Amino acid sequence: MQKIKYTFALVCLLTSFNAQAAGKPVSYLEEVYGLGSVAGQGLACRVDRYDEFELLARAIMIGKAPDAQQQKEAIQQYNVGKAEAFMAMEDENFASCPDVAEEFARQKIFKSTLYSDGHIKLYDGTMITPRKTYNANRLYEKDPDAFAKADAAYKKFVAEAEKNGKNAKKIQLHDANYDKYSGQF
C-alpha cells in the first residue's frame, strides 16, 4: 500500500487555497479531494474539531458544486481522499498525529461561517451560495463510532489484500450523511 505522509493532505488543501488566492484555477474535484484528505487525517488522529471540519468541508463541497452530477462525483472524491489519508495514517501507526492535530487546529477553514440555509462565508470573506438552499443543520451528523468504523474498514481491506496476494478489490466508500440527506441538495 502506498503511504501518504500526513503533510500531503494539508499541503494539498493549502496549495488549493493558495492557488485560488493567486488566481490560479484549481479544479472543484481537486479541492474536494484535498478537503477529504484533511478530514481523513483528522478522523485518524481523532482531533477535537473533526466534526466542525466535516460540516464546513461538506458545505463548501455542496456550495461550489456546479450541478448535481459534479456534486455526486465530488462526494466520491471527498471519500476517496478521506479513506486514503486515514489508511496512510494507520499504515504509519498514527505516528504523525501530534503534528497533524496541531496543524489541523490552525486551519483557516475554522474561521468560516456557515449559515442555516447552506450559505458559507469563507475566512477570506468569499461568500459561497449553493445552487439551492438546504438545511445546513442536516448536512452532517456526528458519529461517535466514525473512527471505529473506518478502522474496521481499513483492517478488512488489509486482510483481503493479504488473502488475495495484494490484489484486494477497492474499498467501497459510503457516505451515510450524504445518502441520508441527498434529496435536500
Contact indicator for 81, 34 with CB cutoff of 8 Å: yes
Position 72 in a domain = yes
pLDDT at 57 over 60: yes
What residues does 121 pair with on adjacent strands? Answer: 113, 127
Q: How many domains does the chain have?
A: 1
Query: What range does the domain containing 69 cover?
Result: 6-184
Position 179 in a domain = yes
Please give the average per-residue pLDDT across 126-131, as a whole number: 94
Q: What is the pLDDT of residues 139-158, one digit of tens each?
A: 788 888 888 888 888 888 77
Residue 169 confidence (pLDDT): 52
% of residues, the chain, pLDDT over 90: 51
Position 134 in a domain = yes
Position 65 in a domain = yes
Position 1 in a domain = no
Higher pLDDT, 91 or 159: 91
Higher pLDDT, 9 or 137: 137
In angstroms, rounded to a whole number, what is the distance separating the alpha carbons of residues 80 and 112?
Answer: 24
Residue 109 confidence (pLDDT): 95
